[in-house]
Amino acid sequence: MGGYILRRLLLMIPTMIGIMGISFLVVQFAPGGPVEQVISQLTGQGDSASDRLTGGGDMLATQDFSSQDNAKYRGAQGLDPELIAKLEKQFGFDKPPLTRFLDMMGSYIRFDFGESFFRNTPVIDLILEKMPVSISLGVWILLFSYTISIPLGIRKAVKDGSAFDVWTSGVIIVGYAVPSFLFGILLIVLFAGGSFFDWFPLRGLVSDNFDQLSWWEKIIDYFWHLTLPLISLALSAFATTTLLTKNSFLDEIRKQYVVTARAKGLSENRVLYGHVFRNAMLIVIAGFPGAFISAFFTGSLLIENIFSLDGLGRLGYLAVVNRDYPIVFGTLYIFSLLGLVVSLVSDLIYTWIDPRIDFEKREV
């Protein structure tokens, strides 16, 4: 197993280079970069880019704009080429693309993601600042999803076709069909002071007086703020994991080895958890990396905006909109690295659940 883990770790290097390289290449052809955003502000077509430019206010104010054209950027007609050159240098676009990419990857190996273009703050500090929200949502969603959905899916498989299976399937299908953000808006209207009850807070992870609360009051306040966002996110995750577990168990229960085990007089629990469980859970574990990344980063974007939770999903979204490339590439690097590590952990869990699986004898 040690050799397999080493090969997987080494394989992460070209994988990360490929992910970052393709993303970097796409960005080179994407219009509306940071330089163009500042230009649009100068020409009256933007709204806030130059205001967010670190140190850019004094530089831009002191430039003598001439009537020379600069066709490299849209909307640059009439701006001094020296101004364009200074903007390119400030944002690091005065170097060839390959040089910029190599410099970026060299820094990222040391987890040095540079500073945000428009926030005058190191990217790693911004990520660490937003991490508590994403961790809170991701950890609890995964915990609830797997601890509730897996037993429920097993129960539905055992009671396949019964009244219990029918009515729970109806609830699950409805939950899967309703978008999480739409359900979140409904919860706000009903329980967060929208039109009916005002039982839960509308924004933030904790209250303003959180530091003044006792330890048990802090726990209550923390979960009080998380209740509605977690219910919104858990709806679709709960449905997906439950149905996946049920179908996987049904497929295994119908196989010959289960019939043989029952014929030998083994109890139903021994058959289910001693034989079926190991095989049926493999497909559930296979979906864990995607569920992990979705729960922590991508799946919470709309929920973070609806409930005013300032997490990594919202940070990445605003960075893409504002073309804040250090944040875009920094978060992409961390997300991709986490995804690869979680995928490796999933393989190790395979061997824990079913010792018959031996990755050491297989090629990566």
* pLDDT tens by residue, 237-296: 777 788 888 888 888 888 888 888 888 888 878 888 877 887 787 777 766 666 666 666
DSSP state, 121? S
Instruction: Return the H-helix or E-strand segment holding 219.
Output: helix 215-253
How many angstroms separate the Cα of 86 from the Cα of each of 28, 68, 77, 79?
A: 19, 16, 16, 12
Q: How far is CA 227 from CA 5, 214, 350, in A?
A: 39, 20, 32
Flag whether pLDDT at 66 surpasses 50: no
**Closest C-alpha among 282, 269, 284, 276 to residue 255:** 276
Q: Which two tokens stand for residue 104?
A: 């970026």
More confident position, 293 or 110: 110
What angle is formed at CA 314 by the lines to CA 9 and CA 40, rounded to 5 degrees? 110
Q: What is the pTM for the complete model shown?
A: 0.71
Q: Which of 331, 268, 276 is nearest to 129 (CA)?
A: 331
Task: Assess whether pLDDT exceeds 50 at residue 57.
Answer: no
Q: How far apart, in whole angstroms, are the C-alpha atoms of residue 173 and residue 106?
A: 47
Task: Report the pLDDT value the prediction gives residue 21, as an integer from 0 to 100.
Answer: 92
Task: Kindly state which CATH superfamily the domain 124-361 is placed in.
Answer: MetI-like (1.10.3720.10)
Could you tell me which residue, 74 or 256, shows the higher pLDDT?
256
Structure confidence at residue 261 (pLDDT): 83
Answer whether 140's CB lies under 8 Å from 226's CB: yes
Please list the residue range(s) of the chain that carry CATH number 1.10.3720.10: 124-361
Summarize the confidence of residues 74-84 as an average pLDDT.
59
